[in-house]
Structure 1
Amino acid sequence: MKTIVVSGGTSGIGEALAYTYLDRGDQVIVIGKDPAKGKRFLDAAEKEGAGGRAFFIRADLSLVSENQRVIGEIKARFAVVDVLVLCARYFRSYRTVTSEGFEHNFALYYLSRFLLGYGLVDLMEKADDPVVMNVAGPGVSAGSIQWDDLGMEHGYDGWSAMFQGGKLNDLLGVSFAAEHRGYRTRYVLLFPGGTRTGFAGEFDASTAAYVAEMKRIAQPVEVGIVPIIAIINTPPREPLSAFVESRRISLLHLSFDKGAAARLDALTRELLRSKMIAGAMLNGGPQGDVP
């Protein structure tokens, strides 16, 4: 029996994967914001006689503090994590800032994956065949990274924010898998293609119409998860690999530049330290550590 952690595990691809591994006899921890969806998952597991293997952690993963709480809770309750699946994402047509001061897309789509991956890696290193499955958009995201404005305070656009998030996750994978870290845990970046349950968000009218058409012609989620399951079951041997659906793509693509990955890693850690120090000063206590 494996222990599977799924962020964004109460809807879409994350939910489909959670049920798949629960049905296979694994222990599944889903992380989501909506308690009603979490209850639905737990009730369904109980009905199938799998209640003892199903867990729901309610959290707003756009908040650094909530990611830290989730990491602490998982570490307190579980000895090993075999698979970490990162699915949480939420499109916003209009720029929104979290209560901690981060642009929402940057916080949820990138920072959360950074924190959960590094925060749980010590538990993954104890597993026989550990893997991080980051469901993002490797090598396919348009646009460029706004290095001097990662939070897109100037000229925000929902599509640009989403595409930048995909590029940031490409570099996160490169940094996580860097030779100097020495992790046994393999890191996989995968773009699943469009699915009918995908693209949660808050849209302006034109984006809503476009998304509705995308969903109409997209593949069923049961089809979209097939390559993900295959890769999780038999992870590549390399520290980092990237796929578009079931097709492996080259890491020689500019999206996987090692220098850019090191730059982003340093920027991210400094950004988190600065926010934590500011939070500690405001709240009169420590705010946790940067992983």
Structure 2
Amino acid sequence: MITGGTDGIGAALARALLLRGDHAAVIGTNPEKADALIRAAADTPGTATFFPADLSLVSDTRRVIGDLLETYPKIDGLVLCARFFRTHRRTTPDGFEDNFALFYLSRALLSYGLLSAFNKADGAVVVNVAGPGHDTPIDWDDLQSARDYDGVRAMFMTGRLNDLLGVTFAERHGKDGTKYVLFHPGTTSTGFVGEFDPPTAAYIEQQKVLAKPATAVVPPVLRLLDNPPDEPLTAFNMDDELSVRNSLFSPKSAARLADITADLLDLDVT
């Protein structure tokens, strides 16, 4: 399973899986890009299926989880890539800040919602592409960035929430065999999808010139899918393993976030 699978790193990973004969379930919002990927799959030994979903909507995330479980009773890999940058704060119809909903809540829902299918696989792995180890402070009183919104800070803080999601998931479900990997791709020329003000757009154009191609990120992700680390939770910056035994991965903070998330979503994370 690949969220954000029609652009950037997600699409590059899907194409690599197809070329080696795997099946890729691609989740995204752009049917035209998905059609191109499906057509390309016809010339490879692999196969692909597109599942349209707006993962910024809790209801749509839950719907696609049901569709995935109905189609695939056993799932051995989930790669979480979907995110969307916004210079200006936006609230979803569900009442959540858009970045918080897409970049964190959907990943929590997918991680826990697909557990039954992970448990039927022989060593499933979740690769959460979220930039682990960043030291942006978490504002516990404003997780949805309602005060003094800044798009970059909101995205970095939500990345921190994904670190803590991994801590809780591994603590509560690592014993069942599913590995949770937090992955930092570094500066990469992805789809750069988002809504940018002019200064941010100019900066993005500079990054496109300097960044490595999305295809460069595929080999380390494939290695993690094929040979997951032994530990229930690990973090990587490309090929370099990062420590998850420091305050950025605090079990106490992770438990606090899990309680907040469970209340927001009526989600059982036990």
**Aligned residue for 1:25?**
21
Cα distance in structure 2, aligned partners of 1:160 and 1:136: 14
Q: Deviations over 1:146-194 (max 9, x none)?
A: 1111111111100111101110000000000005763310000010111
> How far is the alpha carbon of 1:48 from its aligned partner?
3.5
| Aligned with residue 46 of structure 1, among 26, 42, 46 | 42
The answer on 1:194 being equivalent to 2:194 is no
**Aligned residue for 1:95?**
89
**Aligned residue for 2:158?**
165
Cα distance in structure 2, aligned partners of 1:180 and 1:189: 15
1:290–1:63 CA distance, 2 compared to 1 (3 A): farther
Mind listing any 5+ residue stretches in structure 2 that lack a counterpart?
none
The answer on 1:16 being equivalent to 2:9 is no
Secondary structure, counterpart of 1:178 in structure 2: helix
**Aligned residue for 1:211?**
204
Cα distance in structure 2, aligned partners of 1:172 and 1:34: 27
Verify the 8 A CA contact 1:177 1:183 in the aligned structure 2.
no
Mind listing any 5+ residue stretches in structure 1 that lack a counterpart?
274-288
1:179–1:79 CA distance, 2 compared to 1 (3 A): closer
Verify the 8 A CA contact 2:83 2:99 in the aligned structure 1.
yes
1:179–1:60 CA distance, 2 compared to 1 (3 A): closer
Which residue identity does 1:123 align to in structure 2? A
Give TM-score scaled by structure 1 length.
Answer: 0.89
Q: Deviations over 1:29-72 (max 9, x none)?
A: 0000111111111111124464xx31000010001111111110
Verify the 8 A CA contact 1:139 1:253 in the aligned structure 2.
no
Cα distance in structure 2, aligned partners of 1:255 and 1:108: 22
Cα distance in structure 1, aligned partners of 2:35 and 2:16: 17
Following TM superposition, where does structure 1 have runs of at least 4 consecutive aligned residues deviating by more than 4 angstroms? none
Secondary structure, counterpart of 1:182 in structure 2: helix
1:29–1:180 CA distance, 2 compared to 1 (3 A): closer
Cα distance in structure 1, aligned partners of 2:232 and 2:179: 5
The answer on 1:263 being equivalent to 2:256 is yes
Q: Deviations over 1:93-150 (max 9, x none)?
A: 000010100000000000010000100011011111210000111102x421111111
Cα distance in structure 2, aligned partners of 1:29 and 1:179: 26
Identity of aligned residues (%): 49
Cα distance in structure 1, aligned partners of 2:65 and 2:39: 24
Give TM-score scaled by structure 2 length.
Answer: 0.96
Secondary structure, counterpart of 1:145 in structure 2: coil
**Aligned residue for 1:121?**
115
**Aligned residue for 1:281?**
none
**Aligned residue for 1:72?**
66
Q: Deviations over 1:14-36 (max 9, x none)?
A: 01111111111111100001111
Secondary structure, counterpart of 1:54 in structure 2: strand
Verify the 8 A CA contact 1:188 1:240 in the aligned structure 2.
yes
Which residue identity does 2:39 align to in structure 1? D
Verify the 8 A CA contact 1:16 1:222 in the aligned structure 2.
yes
Cα distance in structure 2, aligned partners of 1:198 and 1:191: 16
Structure 1 vs Structure 2 CA RMSD: 1.5
> How far is the alpha carbon of 1:199 from its aligned partner?
2.9
Secondary structure, counterpart of 2:26 in structure 1: strand
**Aligned residue for 1:285?**
none
Structure 1 range deviating more: 14-23 or 103-112: 14-23
Cα distance in structure 1, aligned partners of 2:174 and 2:94: 29
The answer on 1:183 being equivalent to 2:167 is no
**Aligned residue for 2:105?**
111
Cα distance in structure 1, aligned partners of 2:241 and 2:169: 19
Cα distance in structure 2, aligned partners of 1:29 and 1:181: 24
Verify the 8 A CA contact 2:174 2:232 in the aligned structure 1.
no
